[in-house]
Amino acid sequence: MAMIVGIDEAGRGPVIGPLVICGVLIDEKDEIKLKNIGVKDSKLLSPKQREELFEKVKSAVKKYEILIIQPENIDAAVESQELNLNWLEAEVSAQIINKLKPEKAILDCPSTNTKAYSDYLRKKINIDIEIVAEHKADVNYPVVSAASILAKVTRDSEIEKIKKKIGVNLGSGYPSDEITQNFLKKNWDKYPEIFRKSWSTYKKVAEAKDQRALGDF
Residue 217 has a pLDDT of 43
Residues in CB range of 160: below 8 A, 6 or more apart = none
**pLDDT (0 to 100) of residue 212:** 61
For the chain, where are the alpha helices, taking DSSP H only?
31-36, 47-60, 71-78, 85-100, 114-124, 137-140, 142-166, 178-187, 200-215
Do the bridges between strand 3-10 and strand 19-27 make them parallel or antiparallel, or are there none, so unpaired? antiparallel
Instruction: Tell me, yes or no, whether 40 lies in a domain.
Output: yes
pLDDT at site 213:
53
* Residue where a domain terminates, one of 127, 144, 163: 163
pLDDT tens, N- to C-terminus, the chain (217 residues) = 799 999 999 999 999 999 999 999 999 999 999 999 999 988 999 999 999 999 999 999 999 999 999 999 999 999 999 999 999 999 999 999 999 999 999 999 999 999 999 999 999 999 999 999 999 999 999 999 999 999 999 999 999 999 999 999 999 999 999 999 999 999 999 999 999 999 999 999 999 877 665 555 4
Shared domain for 135 and 33, answered yes or no, is: yes
- Reference 23, options 80, 96, 89, 90; nearest CA is 96
- Are 48 and 78 members of one domain? yes
Q: 39: which strand partners?
A: none
Q: Cα separation of 21 and 3, whole Å?
A: 19
| Strand (E) or helix (H) holding 143 | helix 142-166
Please tell me whether residue 132 adopts helix, strand or coil conformation: strand
86 within some domain: yes
pLDDT value at position 1?
73
Question: Which residues face 69 on adjacent strands?
Answer: 19
**Residue 42 sits in which domain range?**
3-163
Do 130 and 206 have their domain in common? no
Same domain, 122 and 46: yes
Please tell me whether residues 93 and 196 are part of one structural domain.
no
pLDDT at residue number 190 = 95
CATH code for the domain of 178: 1.10.10
Contact 149, 42 (CB under 8 A): yes
